[in-house]
Structure 1
């Protein structure tokens, strides 16, 4: 990944982290990468670089600073999560609720989807993308992966990790295949998955969920010592790349 080029860019009112393949490498397409509830922290930048090393132009927008969860706030919340001090960890939940008060409002969701559509606009201007745009994201970003796919039919592949479609999601608007990844030890999402599958079937969406035994929420995040599941993460990465290679392999019509 040392040859991957990455920098922060401005997209009309919000920033994003852009990572591109090494110079001269073939471009497989463009990817919107949506972060977790911690915001645009170093882990997401690392995932962006990993995907860029695989041949994708990746843009990871910061869609939480607009609501008060800057990368600095997210990094502090991550530090509390990883703390060996129980008293510090008990401060995490109220801090999270406070930080996400604005982001949980419906009008914020509408703004965020609009921001993600502007990321698609940008990716379509990138040399070599040729109309081949997908989206993936984690937790908060997994939910917005569903939302963007439903709101923008230019998206040709969607791969949410441990996210649920927002309540207002119109499944019928999803025109691309969706491959979702979950940990079986993630009760809330497991309880809701049958309804998601039924809704996708009714809407005619090509939807498939992979569920990993022994893994829980945030199993892909290798900076989360309490949740990371190496075997599940490795298999999900392999499946993600195979899915993207297939779904984005042909130029857009």
Structure 2
């Protein structure tokens, strides 16, 4: 299968005025390749008509007041924080569990594991979990930062915290979360997974390393698993951003491996989109592309997990 291209969503005039270099530098900053001082210094070299440095920097950094699409008080869902044992990770872990109204031991539902970016369980990812629950799935979003006290309420601090943790143990926490969902008394035993950025990598990795647990996987701009690609059984729906050079460079070899192992996959690339285009809390968000990708993801899970 080949990548198909979609048109970008509408952007405001101000956001359109931000040069692509600024988005590229933010991606470097967000992934730890440059520090905040270097990021701001580079932004200061840009000539952006009508926009100050503070406006550009503010547009590129998250504003989580914009990210809530489903309220935690929505009557159709019940949300709570749940601690669980994680012998393959940090011993103890915690996540955000969202259950649709009416789901119980007598009326079970499929589950979706939600994997966050490289900065912990922020409000955007919690909202993604609520969106899934509104569609009838039990959603669970672990917080990799729980061993350090949890997401600190600030992405810069969260990113620095997550960088200090053992990546293998983070992965173990998510693997044990997948097992929890598979065995949960409210679930059908069918488990899907969606993740963004670092969470996209985790989604690819769990599909490869837990082939009997993950029944469908939808990574957004995630790099491939480091091993066991030949073990993938789940169908994959992969989402890429056209301008995301770092992640897209890994796709040709990944696609070749998927083809060689007869994996059922569909991949999409979204035109003029940047890494993080689904995240509605920053200027990288593209509404039309994000909604199309999410519509596809929901349809994918309904087809694969509810069959």
* TM-score, normalising length: structure 2: 0.68
1:54-86 alpha-carbon deviations (Å, 9 max, x no partner) = 0111110112344x58411xx323xxxxxxxxx
Aligned-residue offset at 1:124: 2.2
- Equivalent residue number for residue 6 of structure 1: 79
Aligned-residue offset at 1:125: 2.9
- Equivalent residue number for residue 230 of structure 1: 287
SS in structure 1 at match of 2:250:
helix
**1:42 and 1:102 mapped to 2: Cα distance?**
21
1:64 correspondence with 2:162 = no
SS in structure 1 at match of 2:299:
helix
Aligned-residue offset at 1:27: 4.7
1:163 correspondence with 2:227 = no
SS in structure 2 at match of 1:19:
strand
**1:58 and 1:96 mapped to 2: Cα distance?**
22
Unaligned runs of 5+ in 1: 78-91
Total equivalences in the alignment? 225
Alignment of 1:13-32 (within 5 A): 13-23=92-102, 27-32=108-113
Assess if the C-alpha contact under 8 Å between 1:36 and 1:138 holds in 2: yes
**2:303 and 2:81 mapped to 1: Cα distance?**
29
**1:38 and 1:97 mapped to 2: Cα distance?**
4
1:101 correspondence with 2:163 = yes
Alignment of 1:21-170 (within 5 A): 21-23=100-102, 27-66=108-147, 68=148, 70-72=150-152, 75-77=153-155, 98-103=160-165, 108-153=166-211, 154-166=213-225, 168-170=226-228
- Equivalent residue number for residue 83 of structure 1: none
* TM-score, normalising length: structure 1: 0.82
Assess if the C-alpha contact under 8 Å between 1:31 and 1:57 holds in 2: yes
Larger radius of gyration between Structure 1 and Structure 2: 2
Residues 9 and 53 of structure 1, relative CA distance in 2, 3 Å threshold: same
**1:29 and 1:5 mapped to 2: Cα distance?**
16
- Equivalent residue number for residue 26 of structure 2: none
User: Comparing both chains, which one has the higher relative contact order based on Cα–Cα distances under 8 Å and sequence gaps of 6 or more?
Assistant: 2
SS in structure 2 at match of 1:55:
coil
- Equivalent residue number for residue 218 of structure 1: 276
**2:149 and 2:286 mapped to 1: Cα distance?**
26
Residues 128 and 100 of structure 1, relative CA distance in 2, 3 Å threshold: closer
Aligned-residue offset at 1:100: 4.2
**1:24 and 1:65 mapped to 2: Cα distance?**
27
**1:134 and 1:34 mapped to 2: Cα distance?**
11
1:147-179 alpha-carbon deviations (Å, 9 max, x no partner) = 11111121100000111024x221112110011
**1:54 and 1:27 mapped to 2: Cα distance?**
14
CA root-mean-square deviation: 2.0
Unaligned runs of 5+ in 2: 1-69, 86-91
1:167-218 alpha-carbon deviations (Å, 9 max, x no partner) = x221112110011111101111122211111111112211221100011100
